[in-house]
């Protein structure tokens, strides 16, 4: 068993976390933690306010581990104990106002309310966020994923809560360009039918944003078991979906705000569609023409 001293820095040795926020510290350490410590990490990231005002024993119970594991988690990320974790979380919450999605959204705009060029400033922030996320995407990873999308016989799209809006947009857009695109319904009978029909010729896109609904994670696990290649789109390197999907794109942002994330998410999904079309431009142009012709004919007949 590792002792507390084994987790602490040697005297005079600079910590690799010296300029990190507590969120960044946890994310950087995540993959070196034990499975039980990862449970604590996930709980802390998803429930910072609760951890800040409750005991290590209470946190351990809700995280599905123990008080001892919570303490070991603190040492593993180079804190000197649970009290320091609570202090760091309190300071982080105060600085970044991460208590709620709506709180993050309002606070990030408040300083711009009196700006004469409000439109330009807000849209400038969105543009900067999109560019920042684009720089994080690995080109080879993106190419291989869009190729799988193009070649798949069926495309399934999963998203709950705020993620459902983006999932609907993606399904609507893809459905105009190719056949067999389905938005997965979580209602039991519909879900069972969908799971019965999928196989290794299918690919699934699962959008999982903070606060990470459990249903899409369970569906992802089941899809992978059935041979469906599953791609997650999420907003954190330690989001629960990572443990179940075949691969993931992480659209990293400073704070958890699904409202502020939406423009960048839709932009990325739009880019994903463009990447898929790049694998056979002639085919997708043909599909577009067929769709437009049918739509025009249908509308004309309907209203004549």
For CA atoms 35, 94, 25, 74, give the dihedral sign.
negative
Q: Smallest Cα–Cα separation from 99: which of 17, 20, 211, 236?
A: 211
Confidence of residue 233 (pLDDT cuts 50, 70, 90): very high
Indicate the domain borders of the chain: 4-96, 135-298
pLDDT tens-digit series, residues 53-68: 789 999 999 899 999 9
Q: Does 281 or 49 have the greater pLDDT score?
A: 281
Note the pLDDT of residue 248. Answer: 95
- Asked, colleague to colleague, whether 4-96 and 135-298 share their fold, the answer is no
> pLDDT at position 106, please?
64
- 150: helix, coil or strand? helix
Q: Residue with structure tokens 């495309």?
A: 155
Q: What is the mean pLDDT of residues 32-55?
A: 89
Q: Which of 298, 260, 266, 160 is nearest to 219 (CA)?
A: 160
The yes/no answer on whether domain 4-96 falls in CATH 1.10.10.10 is yes
DSSP code string of 174-206: HHHHSS-EEEPP-SHHHHHHHHHH--TTEEEEE
Helix runs in 135-257, H state only: 139-151, 162-177, 188-197, 214-225
Q: What is the pLDDT of residue 202?
A: 96
49, containing H or E segment:
helix 48-53
Q: pLDDT band at 5, cuts 50/70/90?
A: very low
Per-residue pLDDT band at 48 (split at 50, 70, 90): confident
Find, among 252, 258, 253, 234, the residue nearest to 244 by Cα. Answer: 234
Q: Indicate if the pLDDT at residue 13 is higher than 60.
A: no
Query: 13: Cβ–Cβ under 8 A, 6 or more apart, which residues?
Result: none
Residue 110 has pLDDT above 50, yes or no: yes
Please report, for residues 85, 142, 211, 228, the alpha-carbon distance to residue 204 in angstroms, rounded to integers and kept in the order given: 37, 15, 20, 7
Q: Inter-axis angle of helices 35-46 and 67-76, to 10 degrees?
A: 90
User: Does the pLDDT at position 293 exceed 80?
Assistant: no
In the CATH scheme, what architecture does the domain 135-298 have?
A: 3-Layer(aba) Sandwich (3.40)
For residues 160 and 214, is the Cβ–Cβ distance under 8 A? Answer: no
Tell me: pLDDT of 47 over 90: no
pLDDT exceeds cutoff 60 at 97: no
Q: State the pLDDT at residue 162.
A: 82
Per-residue pLDDT, 3: 39
């Amino acid at each position: 068993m590792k002792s507390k001293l084994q987790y602490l820095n040697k005297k005079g040795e600079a910590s690799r976390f010296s300029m990190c926020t507590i969120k960044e510290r946890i994310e950087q350490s995540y993959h070196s933690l034990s499975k039980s410590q990862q449970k604590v990490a996930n709980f802390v990231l998803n429930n910072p306010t609760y951890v800040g005002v409750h005991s290590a024993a209470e946190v351990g119970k809700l995280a599905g581990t123990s008080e001892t594991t919570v303490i070991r988690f603190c040492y593993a990320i180079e804190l000197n104990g649970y009290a320091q974790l609570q202090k760091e979380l309190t300071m982080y919450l105060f600085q970044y106002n991460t208590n709620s999605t709506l709180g993050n959204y309002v606070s990030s705009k408040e300083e711009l309310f009196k700006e004469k060029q409000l439109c330009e400033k807000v849209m400038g922030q969105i543009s900067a966020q999109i560019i920042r996320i684009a720089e994080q995407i690995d080109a080879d990873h993106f190419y291989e994923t869009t190729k799988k999308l193009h070649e798949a016989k069926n495309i399934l799209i999963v998203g709950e809560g705020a993620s459902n809006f983006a999932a609907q947009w993606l399904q609507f857009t893809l459905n105009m360009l190719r056949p067999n695109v389905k938005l997965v319904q979580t209602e039991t009978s519909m879900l069972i039918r969908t799971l019965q029909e999928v196989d290794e010729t299918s690919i699934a896109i699962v959008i999982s944003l903070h606060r990470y609904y459990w249903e899409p994670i369970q569906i992802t696990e089941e899809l992978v078991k059935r041979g469906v290649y599953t791609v997650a789109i999420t907003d954190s390197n330690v989001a629960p979906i990572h443990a179940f999907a075949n691969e993931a794109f992480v659209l990293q942002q400073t704070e958890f705000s699904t409202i502020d994330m939406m423009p960048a998410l839709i932009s990325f999904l739009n880019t994903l569609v463009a990447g898929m079309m790049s694998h056979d431009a002639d085919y997708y142009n043909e599909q577009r023409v067929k769709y437009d012709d049918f739509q025009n004919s249908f509308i004309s007949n309907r209203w004549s």
